[in-house]
Amino acid sequence: MNTKKATTKKLPIFWVILIGSILILALLITIQPEREKVNPSHLPWNAHYDETGQLHALGLVLNKSTLRDAMDLYGKDVEVKIFSDQKGESKSIEAYFPVMYIGAIKAALALKIELTPEELEQAYNEGKAISTNPSGTREISLYGETIAKYFDHPLSSITLLPRKHLTEMAIQKRFGEADKKEIQSDKLPHWFFYEKGLEMIIDKEGPEALQYSTNIQPTPNVKQALSPPMPIENPK
């Protein structure tokens, strides 16, 4: 008696590879690495003066933290330049992070470095190249060895430039009501938050600028409240 062997039809190798790839992709999507947690005190709306009068903003302490501290927090992708007017006066030295993240907030960051007039003049004279931007401000690029001299100098101001536009509702929700609002010579609204050492420049056609400086002090008749930091939320 003739018997026929049962045969199983094999899938083409192409389909085996395709199905396997889909399964692996699905597994990778479901098992994502945990995002590093953000310290709430680093969030822009949680800037504050402490009981000793020091201003804490974005994980840094004004007039104490250094460029090295900022690089430890936000990476080594940083440019350092000297800026001056057309006559070579009113000089300042600034570090610029073109891209940095605080949790889900993507932004650029500019830091003013505190140098003595003599140190600033020396750095200016050691400049590599001079260019002039459209506003007439001179930009002096520096050699790496010159920049390295100032890694441990304190930061006198911090400016955060969020990539995403902040609506008035979002600002009030996170930062609260501004202590003062005024239109300045640049024709833009400037909002002041004294307890946060913050001046916010509102520009509907571009990113807002959040400038932290000890020039903006808490009102004398208001005692700084040491309230817990607000939780992390994605900007809307």
Residue 157: its H or E element: strand 155-162
* DSSP, res 229: P
- Which regions of the chain are under pLDDT 50? 31-35, 221-236
pLDDT at 58: 97
pLDDT at 29: 52
pLDDT at 95: 97
In whole angstroms, what is the distance from residue 66 CA to residue 55 CA?
14
pLDDT at 203: 87
Please give the torsion angle defined by the CA atoms of residues 170, 173, 175 and 177, in that order, rounded to the nearest 10 degrees: 110
pLDDT at 226: 38
> What amino acid occupies position 177?
E
pLDDT at 154: 97
